[in-house]
Chain A
Protein backbone atom coordinates (compact mmCIF):
# COMPACT_ATOMS: atom_id res chain seq x y z
CA UNK A 1 0.00 0.00 0.00
CA UNK A 2 1.20 3.47 -0.80
CA UNK A 3 2.09 5.31 2.40
CA UNK A 4 0.35 8.42 1.10
CA UNK A 5 -3.10 6.88 1.60
CA UNK A 6 -3.03 6.68 5.41
CA UNK A 7 -0.91 9.83 5.72
CA UNK A 8 -3.30 11.96 3.64
CA UNK A 9 -6.33 10.51 5.43
CA UNK A 10 -4.74 11.35 8.79
CA UNK A 11 -4.00 14.90 7.65
CA UNK A 12 -7.55 15.45 6.45
CA UNK A 13 -9.06 13.99 9.61
CA UNK A 14 -6.81 16.21 11.71
CA UNK A 15 -7.88 19.31 9.81
CA UNK A 16 -11.56 18.36 10.14
CA UNK A 17 -11.00 18.11 13.88
CA UNK A 18 -9.16 21.45 13.82
CA UNK A 19 -12.14 23.08 12.13
CA UNK A 20 -14.44 21.57 14.75
CA UNK A 21 -12.35 22.83 17.65
CA UNK A 22 -12.28 26.35 16.24
CA UNK A 23 -15.86 26.60 14.99
CA UNK A 24 -17.90 24.75 17.58
CA UNK A 25 -19.46 26.52 20.53
CA UNK A 26 -20.76 23.69 22.70
CA UNK A 27 -17.96 22.32 24.90
CA UNK A 28 -18.93 18.69 24.29
CA UNK A 29 -18.76 19.19 20.52
CA UNK A 30 -15.28 20.66 21.01
CA UNK A 31 -14.33 17.50 22.91
CA UNK A 32 -15.61 15.39 20.00
CA UNK A 33 -13.41 17.34 17.60
CA UNK A 34 -10.41 16.79 19.88
CA UNK A 35 -11.14 13.07 19.69
CA UNK A 36 -11.03 13.27 15.90
CA UNK A 37 -7.63 14.95 16.02
CA UNK A 38 -6.26 12.32 18.41
CA UNK A 39 -7.54 9.56 16.13
CA UNK A 40 -5.77 11.12 13.16
CA UNK A 41 -2.51 10.95 15.10
CA UNK A 42 -3.22 7.31 15.99
CA UNK A 43 -3.70 6.44 12.33
CA UNK A 44 -0.35 8.03 11.53
CA UNK A 45 1.36 6.09 14.31
CA UNK A 46 -0.05 2.76 13.16
CA UNK A 47 0.74 3.40 9.50
CA UNK A 48 4.35 4.36 10.20
CA UNK A 49 4.78 1.44 12.57
CA UNK A 50 3.67 -0.97 9.85
CA UNK A 51 5.85 0.79 7.26
CA UNK A 52 9.01 0.76 9.38
CA UNK A 53 8.50 -2.84 10.59
CA UNK A 54 9.74 -1.72 13.98
CA UNK A 55 10.87 -4.59 16.17
CA UNK A 56 9.78 -2.75 19.31
CA UNK A 57 6.46 -1.79 17.70
CA UNK A 58 6.74 1.64 19.26
CA UNK A 59 3.98 3.00 17.05
CA UNK A 60 1.42 0.47 18.19
CA UNK A 61 2.39 0.77 21.85
CA UNK A 62 2.14 4.55 21.63
CA UNK A 63 -1.23 4.20 19.91
CA UNK A 64 -2.52 2.16 22.83
CA UNK A 65 -1.15 4.77 25.22
CA UNK A 66 -2.78 7.58 23.25
CA UNK A 67 -6.12 5.79 23.29
CA UNK A 68 -5.87 5.38 27.07
CA UNK A 69 -4.87 9.00 27.61
CA UNK A 70 -7.73 10.10 25.35
CA UNK A 71 -10.14 8.10 27.49
CA UNK A 72 -8.79 9.75 30.64
CA UNK A 73 -8.97 13.15 28.94
CA UNK A 74 -12.58 12.70 27.92
CA UNK A 75 -13.49 11.63 31.46
CA UNK A 76 -11.86 14.64 33.10
CA UNK A 77 -13.08 16.96 30.35
CA UNK A 78 -16.68 15.89 30.73
CA UNK A 79 -16.44 16.21 34.52
CA UNK A 80 -15.20 19.79 34.08
CA UNK A 81 -17.93 20.55 31.55
CA UNK A 82 -20.59 19.19 33.91
CA UNK A 83 -19.17 21.26 36.78
CA UNK A 84 -19.21 24.39 34.63
CA UNK A 85 -22.74 23.62 33.52
CA UNK A 86 -23.82 23.14 37.12
CA UNK A 87 -22.28 26.42 38.24
CA UNK A 88 -23.04 28.59 35.23
CA UNK A 89 -26.05 26.95 33.64
CA UNK A 90 -24.35 26.78 30.24
CA UNK A 91 -21.77 24.70 28.40
CA UNK A 92 -21.14 27.42 25.82
CA UNK A 93 -17.42 28.10 25.56
CA UNK A 94 -18.07 31.59 24.15
CA UNK A 95 -19.77 32.66 27.36
CA UNK A 96 -16.97 31.59 29.71
CA UNK A 97 -15.08 34.85 29.42
CA UNK A 98 -14.10 35.54 33.03
CA UNK A 99 -10.40 35.63 32.16
CA UNK A 100 -10.88 37.51 28.89
CA UNK A 101 -9.04 40.77 28.37
CA UNK A 102 -11.89 43.09 27.55
CA UNK A 103 -9.73 46.21 27.44
CA UNK A 104 -11.85 47.96 30.06
CA UNK A 105 -10.90 49.20 33.51
CA UNK A 106 -10.26 46.59 36.20
CA UNK A 107 -13.19 47.68 38.36
CA UNK A 108 -15.49 47.31 35.38
CA UNK A 109 -14.08 43.87 34.67
CA UNK A 110 -14.41 42.70 38.26
CA UNK A 111 -18.17 42.56 37.89
CA UNK A 112 -17.91 39.54 35.63
CA UNK A 113 -15.56 37.72 38.03
CA UNK A 114 -18.32 37.27 40.61
CA UNK A 115 -19.70 33.75 40.30
CA UNK A 116 -23.10 33.63 38.71
CA UNK A 117 -25.11 30.69 39.89
CA UNK A 118 -27.83 30.32 37.33
CA UNK A 119 -28.73 26.84 38.49
CA UNK A 120 -31.51 27.08 41.07
CA UNK A 121 -30.83 23.60 42.48
CA UNK A 122 -27.30 24.64 43.33
CA UNK A 123 -28.30 27.69 45.32
CA UNK A 124 -30.97 25.64 47.08
CA UNK A 125 -28.35 23.08 48.09
CA UNK A 126 -26.07 25.83 49.35
CA UNK A 127 -28.87 27.40 51.36
CA UNK A 128 -29.66 24.02 52.89
CA UNK A 129 -26.00 23.58 53.78
CA UNK A 130 -25.88 27.03 55.32
CA UNK A 131 -29.02 26.37 57.35
CA UNK A 132 -27.62 23.08 58.55
CA UNK A 133 -24.37 24.77 59.49
CA UNK A 134 -26.22 27.40 61.50
CA UNK A 135 -28.45 24.98 63.38
CA UNK A 136 -25.65 22.55 64.17
Chain B
Protein backbone atom coordinates (compact mmCIF):
# COMPACT_ATOMS: atom_id res chain seq x y z
CA UNK B 1 0.00 0.00 0.00
CA UNK B 2 2.65 2.50 0.97
CA UNK B 3 5.75 3.14 -1.04
CA UNK B 4 8.77 1.04 -0.34
CA UNK B 5 10.92 4.06 0.42
CA UNK B 6 8.41 5.51 2.85
CA UNK B 7 7.90 2.57 5.10
CA UNK B 8 9.66 2.30 8.42
CA UNK B 9 12.42 -0.20 8.89
CA UNK B 10 11.86 -3.71 10.10
CA UNK B 11 14.67 -3.37 12.63
CA UNK B 12 13.11 -0.37 14.37
CA UNK B 13 9.72 -1.48 15.56
CA UNK B 14 7.18 1.05 16.65
CA UNK B 15 5.45 1.02 20.02
CA UNK B 16 2.40 -0.73 18.65
CA UNK B 17 4.56 -3.44 17.13
CA UNK B 18 6.39 -4.04 20.40
CA UNK B 19 3.10 -4.27 22.27
CA UNK B 20 1.71 -6.61 19.61
CA UNK B 21 4.76 -8.85 19.80
CA UNK B 22 4.73 -9.02 23.61
CA UNK B 23 1.02 -9.83 23.79
CA UNK B 24 1.52 -12.28 20.93
CA UNK B 25 4.24 -14.13 22.86
CA UNK B 26 1.97 -14.33 25.90
CA UNK B 27 -0.92 -15.58 23.73
CA UNK B 28 1.25 -18.18 22.07
CA UNK B 29 2.62 -19.39 25.38
CA UNK B 30 -0.88 -19.73 26.81
CA UNK B 31 -1.97 -21.64 23.70
CA UNK B 32 1.04 -23.96 24.04
CA UNK B 33 0.20 -24.69 27.67
CA UNK B 34 -3.43 -25.28 26.64
CA UNK B 35 -2.48 -28.04 24.23
CA UNK B 36 0.24 -29.62 26.38
CA UNK B 37 -0.96 -29.53 29.98
CA UNK B 38 -2.18 -32.75 31.54
CA UNK B 39 -4.69 -31.07 33.82
CA UNK B 40 -7.90 -30.68 31.90
CA UNK B 41 -9.37 -27.77 33.84
CA UNK B 42 -6.08 -25.88 33.62
CA UNK B 43 -6.23 -26.28 29.84
CA UNK B 44 -9.59 -24.52 29.78
CA UNK B 45 -8.30 -21.73 32.01
CA UNK B 46 -5.18 -21.20 29.90
CA UNK B 47 -7.49 -21.05 26.90
CA UNK B 48 -9.06 -17.99 28.56
CA UNK B 49 -5.62 -16.32 28.62
CA UNK B 50 -5.01 -17.14 24.96
CA UNK B 51 -8.40 -15.86 23.82
CA UNK B 52 -8.11 -12.73 25.97
CA UNK B 53 -4.69 -12.05 24.47
CA UNK B 54 -6.23 -12.31 21.03
CA UNK B 55 -8.85 -9.74 22.08
CA UNK B 56 -6.00 -7.36 22.97
CA UNK B 57 -4.46 -8.01 19.55
CA UNK B 58 -7.76 -7.05 17.94
CA UNK B 59 -7.76 -3.83 19.94
CA UNK B 60 -4.21 -3.09 18.77
CA UNK B 61 -5.42 -3.62 15.20
CA UNK B 62 -8.17 -1.01 15.91
CA UNK B 63 -10.93 -3.62 15.55
CA UNK B 64 -12.72 -2.57 18.68
CA UNK B 65 -16.08 -4.26 18.20
CA UNK B 66 -14.51 -7.61 17.30
CA UNK B 67 -12.43 -7.44 20.47
CA UNK B 68 -15.46 -7.02 22.71
CA UNK B 69 -17.38 -9.71 20.85
CA UNK B 70 -14.37 -11.98 21.36
CA UNK B 71 -14.39 -11.29 25.09
CA UNK B 72 -18.15 -11.74 25.36
CA UNK B 73 -18.57 -14.91 23.30
CA UNK B 74 -15.29 -16.78 23.70
CA UNK B 75 -14.18 -15.87 27.19
CA UNK B 76 -17.73 -15.47 28.44
CA UNK B 77 -19.60 -18.39 26.99
CA UNK B 78 -17.44 -20.85 25.05
CA UNK B 79 -14.98 -21.45 27.89
CA UNK B 80 -17.82 -21.76 30.40
CA UNK B 81 -19.44 -24.30 28.07
CA UNK B 82 -16.15 -26.21 27.85
CA UNK B 83 -15.84 -26.21 31.63
CA UNK B 84 -19.38 -27.55 31.92
CA UNK B 85 -18.50 -30.23 29.38
CA UNK B 86 -15.43 -31.21 31.41
CA UNK B 87 -17.58 -31.35 34.53
CA UNK B 88 -20.35 -33.42 32.97
CA UNK B 89 -17.94 -35.96 31.51
CA UNK B 90 -16.43 -36.39 34.99
CA UNK B 91 -12.99 -35.19 34.01
CA UNK B 92 -10.37 -35.92 36.66
CA UNK B 93 -9.33 -32.89 38.69
CA UNK B 94 -5.62 -33.62 38.99
CA UNK B 95 -3.21 -34.84 36.34
CA UNK B 96 -4.89 -37.25 33.97
CA UNK B 97 -2.52 -39.78 32.44
CA UNK B 98 -4.55 -40.26 29.25
CA UNK B 99 -4.85 -36.65 28.11
CA UNK B 100 -2.42 -37.23 25.24
CA UNK B 101 -2.60 -40.09 22.79
CA UNK B 102 0.37 -42.10 21.67
CA UNK B 103 0.98 -40.24 18.42
CA UNK B 104 2.41 -37.12 20.01
CA UNK B 105 5.62 -37.26 17.97
CA UNK B 106 3.73 -37.53 14.69
CA UNK B 107 1.57 -34.58 15.71
CA UNK B 108 4.64 -32.56 16.69
CA UNK B 109 6.33 -33.34 13.38
CA UNK B 110 3.26 -32.35 11.36
CA UNK B 111 2.74 -29.15 13.36
CA UNK B 112 6.39 -28.06 13.16
CA UNK B 113 6.54 -28.79 9.44
CA UNK B 114 3.33 -26.85 8.81
CA UNK B 115 4.54 -23.95 10.96
CA UNK B 116 7.90 -23.78 9.20
CA UNK B 117 6.34 -23.88 5.75
CA UNK B 118 3.64 -21.34 6.50
CA UNK B 119 5.93 -18.91 8.34
CA UNK B 120 8.36 -19.03 5.44
CA UNK B 121 5.60 -18.41 2.90
CA UNK B 122 3.95 -15.63 4.90
CA UNK B 123 7.17 -13.78 5.70
CA UNK B 124 8.33 -14.08 2.12
CA UNK B 125 5.01 -12.85 0.74
CA UNK B 126 4.42 -9.91 3.07
CA UNK B 127 7.98 -8.74 3.58
CA UNK B 128 7.28 -5.21 2.41
CA UNK B 129 3.68 -4.63 3.38
CA UNK B 130 2.67 -2.36 6.19
CA UNK B 131 -0.62 -1.79 7.92
CA UNK B 132 -1.47 1.88 8.17
CA UNK B 133 -3.06 2.21 11.59
CA UNK B 134 -3.39 6.00 11.42
CA UNK B 135 -6.58 7.89 10.65
CA UNK B 136 -10.05 6.86 11.77
CA UNK B 137 -10.41 3.52 13.49
CA UNK B 138 -11.21 0.74 11.06
CA UNK B 139 -13.36 -1.33 13.37
CA UNK B 140 -15.12 1.00 15.74
CA UNK B 141 -18.58 -0.06 16.78
CA UNK B 142 -20.15 2.63 14.63
CA UNK B 143 -18.34 1.56 11.46
CA UNK B 144 -18.88 -2.15 12.06
CA UNK B 145 -22.57 -1.71 12.85
CA UNK B 146 -23.19 0.44 9.79
CA UNK B 147 -21.42 -2.00 7.49
CA UNK B 148 -23.04 -5.05 9.06
CA UNK B 149 -26.58 -3.74 8.74
CA UNK B 150 -26.10 -2.05 5.39
CA UNK B 151 -24.20 -4.62 3.33
CA UNK B 152 -24.33 -7.85 5.32
CA UNK B 153 -27.95 -8.02 6.41
CA UNK B 154 -28.87 -11.16 4.51
CA UNK B 155 -25.91 -13.27 5.76
CA UNK B 156 -26.63 -11.90 9.23
CA UNK B 157 -30.21 -13.18 9.11
CA UNK B 158 -29.09 -16.53 7.67
CA UNK B 159 -26.68 -16.78 10.57
CA UNK B 160 -29.47 -16.26 13.08
CA UNK B 161 -31.35 -19.16 11.46
CA UNK B 162 -28.18 -21.24 11.76
CA UNK B 163 -27.91 -20.37 15.43
CA UNK B 164 -31.52 -21.38 15.97
CA UNK B 165 -30.89 -24.70 14.22
CA UNK B 166 -27.80 -25.29 16.38
CA UNK B 167 -29.81 -24.47 19.51
CA UNK B 168 -32.56 -26.93 18.62
CA UNK B 169 -30.01 -29.55 17.61
CA UNK B 170 -28.08 -29.24 20.86
CA UNK B 171 -31.29 -29.57 22.89
CA UNK B 172 -32.44 -32.60 20.91
CA UNK B 173 -29.05 -34.27 21.20
CA UNK B 174 -28.56 -33.70 24.90
CA UNK B 175 -32.10 -34.39 26.10
CA UNK B 176 -32.32 -37.48 28.25
CA UNK B 177 -34.69 -40.01 26.65
CA UNK B 178 -35.03 -38.42 23.21
CA UNK B 179 -37.98 -39.71 21.09
CA UNK B 180 -35.76 -41.79 18.82
CA UNK B 181 -34.17 -43.55 21.75
CA UNK B 182 -37.54 -44.08 23.40
CA UNK B 183 -38.80 -45.73 20.21
CA UNK B 184 -35.63 -47.82 20.07
CA UNK B 185 -36.00 -48.96 23.66
CA UNK B 186 -39.69 -49.68 23.07
CA UNK B 187 -38.76 -51.85 20.10
CA UNK B 188 -36.13 -53.51 22.27
CA UNK B 189 -38.74 -54.17 24.93
CA UNK B 190 -41.15 -55.65 22.39
CA UNK B 191 -38.38 -57.88 21.06
CA UNK B 192 -37.46 -59.12 24.52
CA UNK B 193 -41.14 -59.65 25.33
CA UNK B 194 -41.57 -61.80 22.21
CA UNK B 195 -38.42 -63.70 23.11
CA UNK B 196 -39.77 -64.44 26.58
CA UNK B 197 -43.24 -65.35 25.35
CA UNK B 198 -42.23 -68.97 24.74
CA UNK B 199 -43.20 -69.69 28.31
CA UNK B 200 -46.83 -69.58 29.40
CA UNK B 201 -46.13 -67.08 32.15
CA UNK B 202 -45.20 -64.28 29.79
CA UNK B 203 -48.38 -64.77 27.81
CA UNK B 204 -50.57 -64.51 30.88
CA UNK B 205 -48.54 -61.52 32.06
CA UNK B 206 -49.17 -59.74 28.82
CA UNK B 207 -52.87 -60.58 28.98
CA UNK B 208 -52.97 -59.20 32.49
CA UNK B 209 -51.26 -56.07 31.24
CA UNK B 210 -53.84 -55.53 28.52
CA UNK B 211 -56.60 -56.21 31.03
CA UNK B 212 -55.13 -53.56 33.32
CA UNK B 213 -54.93 -51.12 30.44
CA UNK B 214 -58.55 -51.74 29.56
CA UNK B 215 -59.58 -51.25 33.18
CA UNK B 216 -57.71 -47.98 33.44
CA UNK B 217 -59.23 -46.82 30.15
CA UNK B 218 -62.68 -47.61 31.46
CA UNK B 219 -61.88 -45.71 34.64
CA UNK B 220 -60.82 -42.63 32.77
CA UNK B 221 -63.93 -42.88 30.63
CA UNK B 222 -66.15 -42.96 33.70
CA UNK B 223 -64.45 -40.06 35.39
A residues sitting closer than 8 Å to B (CB atoms) are 1-9, 11-20, 22-26, 28-29, 31-33, 35-36, 39, 42-43, 46-47, 49-51, 53, 56-57, 60-61, 63-65, 67-76, 78-83, 85, 91-94, 125-126, 129-130, 133-136
Contacts and interface: CB of A to CB of B under 8 A. Distances in A.
B185 A61 contact: no
Nearest to B28: A12
B129 A79 contact: no
A35 to B, nearest CB: 7
Contacts of A125: 176-177
Give 10 closest A-B pairs by Cβ, nearest first.
A20-B35, A22-B107, A72-B166, A130-B189, A19-B111, A23-B107, A15-B115, A79-B173, A25-B101, A79-B170
B57 to A, nearest CB: 6
A68 to B, nearest CB: 5
A94 to B, nearest CB: 5
B63 A3 contact: no
Contacts of B54: 13, 39, 42-43
A39 B48 CA distance: 12
Given A9-B24, A79-B173, A82-B85, A18 B111 contact: yes
B78 A74 contact: yes
Given A50-B62, A65-B159, A125-B177, 4 more contacts: A2-B129, A16-B34, A26-B96, A68-B73
A91 B40 CA distance: 13
A26 B47 CA distance: 15
A56 B112 CA distance: 36
Contacts of A20: 34-35
Given A1-B17, A81-B89, A7 B34 contact: no
20 contacts: A6-B20, A6-B131, A9-B57, A11-B118, A13-B31, A18-B114, A20-B34, A22-B103, A22-B106, A22-B107, A28-B40, A32-B47, A39-B54, A42-B66, A51-B129, A57-B143, A60-B144, A76-B166, A81-B89, A94-B101
Interface in B97-140: 98-101, 103-104, 106-108, 110-112, 114-115, 118-119, 122-123, 126-127, 129-133, 138-139
B213 interface: yes
A83 B174 CA distance: 6
Contacts of A69: 159, 162
Contacts, number: 281
A17 B51 CA distance: 13
Which residue of B13, B35, B51, B126 has the most chain A CB atoms within 10 A of its CB atom?
Answer: B35
Interface string B197-214: 000000001100100110
Given A32-B43, A63-B66, A67-B74, A135 B212 contact: yes
Interface string B22-50: 00100110011011000010011001001
B186 A133 contact: yes
A5 B70 CA distance: 20
B21 to A, nearest CB: 6
A7 B122 contact: yes
A91 to B, nearest CB: 5
Interface in B132-185: 132-133, 138-139, 143-144, 147-148, 151-152, 155, 159, 162-163, 166-167, 169-170, 173-174, 176-177, 182, 185
Given A4-B126, A70-B78, A130-B192, A65 B155 contact: yes
